[in-house]
Structure 1
Amino acid sequence: MITHIVMFKLKDNSPEKVAQTVQVLRNMEGKIDELISIEVGTDILHSERSYDIALVTKFESMEALSAYQVHPEHQKVIEHMSQVREASVSVDYES
């Protein structure tokens, strides 16, 4: 199992923009066969080092993660995120 975590810091982290982006991320659920699970959370501390949104996804294998990366539904998310994110960080690990 592969766990893929991405955290996003948005250019505009108003509640409306965060909610809109959360919905864009959640819209992948059920549309990408390789995506075993998806969890999207928003920051509750709002500290200087906080990121606004965390995305946690799980895949059966590295091959499944690779298929997800090029899937048309994920590409829509990448397009949206390229417009709204200030920064992002990720980690992938075997779980």
Structure 2
Amino acid sequence: MLTHIVLFKLKDNSAAKVEETAQVLRNMEGKIEELKYIEVGIDVLHSERSYDIALITKFDSMADMDKYQVHPVHQEVIKHMQQVRESSISVDYEL
């Protein structure tokens, strides 16, 4: 199982914009066959080092994650994120 975690810091981190973007991410659920698990969390601490949104996804293999990366639904999400994110970081690991 491959886990892919991305943290996003948004340009506009108002509650409405963060929720709107979180919903864009959540909307991938059930639309990409290779995406076995998705969790979207919104930061509650709002500390100086906080990111606004956490995306946790899981795939059966690296090959499945590669298919996810180019899937049209994910490509639309990428377009949205390119417009709204200030920065992002990620980590990928296998268990």
The question of a shared fold, defined as TM-score above 0.5 by the shorter chain, is answered with yes
Query: Structure 1: where are the runs of 5+ without partners?
Result: none
TM-score (norm 2): 0.99
Q: Which residue is 2:29 aligned to? A: 29
TM-score (norm 1): 0.99
Q: Which residue is 1:71 aligned to? A: 71
One-letter identity of the residue aligned with 1:53: I
Q: CA RMSD in A?
A: 0.4
Q: Which residue is 1:18 aligned to? A: 18
Matches within 5 A, 1:46-57: 46-57=46-57
Shift of 1:87: 0.2
Q: Which residue is 1:5 aligned to? A: 5
Aligned-pair identity in percent equals 73
Query: Structure 2: where are the runs of 5+ without partners?
Result: none
